[in-house]
Amino acid sequence: MAEYTRHSVAFIRDTANYILRARASRAEQADPPTVGKKWVDRFIKRHKYDIVPSHVLDANRQASEDPEAINAWFLKYKAVVAEHGIVADDIWNMDETGFQIGVGKDQMVVTKRRRAHYFSLPTNRESATAVEAISATGRVIPVFLILSGTMHMANWYRLEELDKDTVIGTSPTGYSNDELSMAWIQHFEAYTKKGAVGSKRLLLMDGYGSHCTREFIQYCDDSSIVPFGFPPHSTHLLQPLDVVMFQPLKHYHAEALDLIVRDGCANITKIEFLSVIQEVRRKAFREDSILSAFKKSGLVPYDPLVVMRRIQERQERALTPPPPPAPELQSSPFNTPVTLRQLKKIAYDLQTQAKEEDFNPALKRTLDQFVRGALTQGTELLYTMRDLKRTKMAEEVTRRRRSQKNQQLKAGGVLTVDHARKIVRQKDDDALEKARKIVERADAQMRNMYKKWFGEAAKVARKYRLDGRLEPLYIVDQEGKGRFLRRG
């Protein structure tokens, strides 16, 4: 039975670029060529692969796209901003997004067959939540992570990849609750108060229950924070984090997870999740993306028509019949599928000679097949060696991380990475001090034992000498030979 594989678009682009680097001349090694922006699309169409995206709009969200209700909310938003004199620097949006530790977002799948495909994937479905906050001027505060569990573990905070200002909380489910929401608003206050321009900050958020507790609202009032909620099921239109930011965040998380899996890690844990989340956020939360998120939401600059036009376009698309399928592209002439620099010159010489010499047509075809096969096998070998090297490196990193002693630091609550690292260092120092004392105690016991042995031996020797059973020892000093002992 033939074997079929499926890969993400990023995987195909990465592989093509790697092959181009391998075949590049020495002069091109410093700046090797890469495939174009649309190369993968053309490659997929040329070889008649299927590409399978998946975008589903929740029914409640679709039903909530009422222009009148959206316009009324914008008017209230404008009035609140004017009433409190809030400037763009002090307009913030917060929201939570969930992750499954070992499960990435569904990606584009490229396959030769239109049927289900099965392949190995991590099965860790532990939940984790990232609570993010961005401002209308492009700022983002350190992430507030919620991991499933009841104990903070030392190995989480040994990771160098984590920013020291990251906050980690725990809950049995990996989701937020009233206690963690209070901890987050205090985290928000600590990182936005100093940079506030006006006297009050506007906090745009959804109507999740733990954000509407009396303690949460009271803390906002006491801290000059004005909480302002979105209409139900409308965050896909109005909330900057939902409109723009979370999509690339999930995309980069899926890419990082895919790379970990390709490097041979089949058991993805919280350690692997924490090791990539900082880099994932760095890629997703760019200043220009944050500014674009507020603009596309019609919030800053204030422009409700941006959202109204999007609602209208969505409704028109729902009423428009789907276009007829595009005509299939003719496959371009297919020469050698892949080449390497080391084999390219030899292959060219062989094929040129076959054309110039009076070769038998059957021999020419056989030679051409051999050249193609050699180039293909060489490329596959190089790619396999690259994967093996990456896998070994990933296994070594994983082994080092998991070989460290894992200790329980705290039950529940939250810890900043900086504070937790101090606790870990103190525990490590305490463990080192304990080990040092054990060694010193063992050394002292050994010295006392030796002292006892030598003392007893000296007493026996003295008794034997007094009894005449042991002749006395004399120190003899001979010139040129040094000093030595002699008995009798």
Mean pLDDT across 256-260: 82
pLDDT over 60 at 111, yes or no: no
For residue 162, the enclosing domain spans: 60-319
Per-residue burial over 452-462, b = 16 or more CB atoms within 10 Å of its CB, e = otherwise: eeeeeeeeeee
Instruction: Identify the band that residue 229 occupies on the pLDDT scale cut at 50, 70 and 90.
Output: very high
Q: Which residue has the higher pLDDT, 104 or 136?
A: 136
Residue scoring higher pLDDT (482 or 297): 297
Q: Is residue 395 part of a domain?
A: yes
User: Per the domain annotation, does 111 fall within a domain?
Assistant: yes
Which residue, of 319, 351, 375, is where some domain finishes? 319
Give residues with Cβ within 8 angstroms of 364, minimum separation 6: 354
The confidence score (pLDDT) of residue 371 equals 73
For 140-149, what is the mean pLDDT?
Answer: 95
* pLDDT, position 47: 79
Tell whether 390 and 452 lie within a shared domain. Answer: no
105 & 229 share domain: yes
Is the confidence at residue 145, as pLDDT, over 90? yes
DSSP 8-state assignment for residue 411: E
pLDDT in tens, 56-65: 445 555 555 7
In the predicted model, what is the mean pLDDT of residues 347-375?
73
Q: Is the pLDDT of residue 99 over 60?
A: yes
Specify if 342 maps to a domain.
yes
- Name, in order, each residue with C-beta under 8 angstroms of 160's C-beta and a sequence gap of 6 or more: none
Quick one: pLDDT at residue 373?
75
Tell me: do 154 and 273 sit in the same domain.
Answer: yes
pLDDT confidence of residue 402? 55
- Tokens 């206690």 belong to 179
pLDDT class for 93, splitting at 50, 70, 90? Answer: very high
pLDDT at 72 over 60: yes
The helix or strand, by DSSP H or E, that contains position 374, with its residue range, turns out to be helix 361-403
C-alpha 408/C-alpha 150 separation (Å) is 10
Determine which of 131-140, 184-193, 270-279, 416-425 has the lowest per-residue pLDDT on average.
416-425
Q: Are 76 and 240 in contact (CB under 8 A)?
A: no
pLDDT tens for each residue of 377-416:
767 666 666 666 556 555 555 555 555 566 777 787 899 8
Residue ending a domain, choose from 267, 292, 319: 319
Q: Which residues, listed in sequence order, are joined to residue 205 by a DSSP beta bridge?
A: 229
Query: Sorting pLDDT into bands at 50, 70 and 90, what band is 334?
Result: very low
Which range, of 176-190, 307-321, 413-427, averages the lowest pLDDT?
A: 307-321
Answer yes or no: do 269 and 377 share one domain.
Answer: no
Predicted confidence (pLDDT) at residue 7 exceeds the cutoff of 70: no
What is the mean predicted confidence (pLDDT) over 74-93?
96
Q: What is residue 13's predicted lDDT score, i.e. its pLDDT?
A: 77
State whether 165 and 312 are in the same domain.
yes
Is 398 in the same domain as 422? no
Q: Are 405 and 421 contained in the same domain? A: no
Token pair listed for 21: 């680097």
Is the pLDDT confidence value at 230 over 50? yes
For 444-461, the pLDDT digits (tens) are 888 888 888 878 887 887
Question: In terms of domains, do 219 and 143 share one?
Answer: yes
Residue 327 lies in a domain: no
Of 291, 319, 347, the position where a domain reaches its end is 319
Spatial neighbors of 300 by CB under 8 A, at least 6 apart, are: 88, 91, 136, 294
- Predicted pLDDT at 136: 97
Tens-place pLDDT, residues 18-29:
788 777 777 777
- For tokens 């913030």, the residue is 92
Residue 54 exposed, middle or buried by CB count within 10 Å (0-12, 13-18, 19+):
exposed
Q: For residue 148, what are the contacts with CB-CB under 8 A and spacing of at least 6? A: 126, 127, 128, 170, 171, 172, 173, 174
Number of Cβ atoms within 10 Å of the Cβ of 242: 21
Residue 55 lies in a domain: no
Helices (H), 229-360: 235-238, 240, 246-262, 270-284, 287-296, 304-319, 341-356
Higher pLDDT, 439 or 286: 286
What is the DSSP secondary structure assignment for residue 38, as one 8-state letter? T
- Kind and range of the H or E run holding 369: helix 361-403
- What confidence category does residue 113 fall into, taking pLDDT thresholds of 50, 70 and 90? very low
* Residue 181, H or E segment: helix 178-192
pLDDT > 70: percent of the chain: 75
Residue 443 has pLDDT above 70, yes or no: yes
User: What span, in angstroms and rounded, lies between the C-alpha atoms of 179 and 184?
Assistant: 9
Cα–Cα distance for residue pair 172/185, rounded to 1 Å: 20
**Same structural domain for residues 184 and 270?**
yes
Q: What domain count does the chain have?
A: 4
Residues 232 and 346 in one domain: no
Question: What is the pLDDT, as a whole number, of residue 249?
Answer: 95
CA-to-CA distance for 285 and 141, rounded, in angstroms?
A: 10
At residue 225, the 3 state secondary structure works out as strand
Q: Both 398 and 458 in a single domain?
A: no
> How high does pLDDT run on average in the chain?
79
Alpha-carbon distance of 362 to 147, in angstroms, equals 65
Q: Indicate whether 356 and 372 sit together in one domain.
A: yes
CA separation for the pair 354, 368 (Å, rounded):
9
pLDDT at 277 over 70: yes
pLDDT digits (tens, 9 = 90+) for 286-303: 999 999 999 999 999 999
93, 240 Cβ separation under 8 angstroms: yes
Measured on CA atoms in the order 405, 409, 412, 414, is the torsion positive or negative? negative
* Mean local confidence (pLDDT), 87-112: 76
Tell me whether residue 329 is in a domain: no
Q: How far is CA 327 from CA 68, 324, 330, 457, in A?
A: 41, 9, 9, 103
DSSP class of residue 157?
H
At residue 228, what is the residue type?
F
The whole model's pTM is what?
0.64
Kindly tell me if the per-residue pLDDT of 6 is higher than 60. Answer: no
Q: Count, in order, helices (H) and strands (E) of the chain.
A: 16, 13
Counting residues of the chain whose pLDDT is more than 90, the rounded percentage is 32
pLDDT tens digits for range 170-219:
999 999 998 999 999 999 999 999 999 999 999 999 876 566 778 898 99
Q: Is residue 459 part of a domain?
A: yes
Domain-embedded: residue 53: no
- Alpha carbon distance 316, 390 (integer Å): 49
pLDDT tens digits, one per residue of 30-66: 778 888 888 888 888 887 776 655 444 455 555 557 8
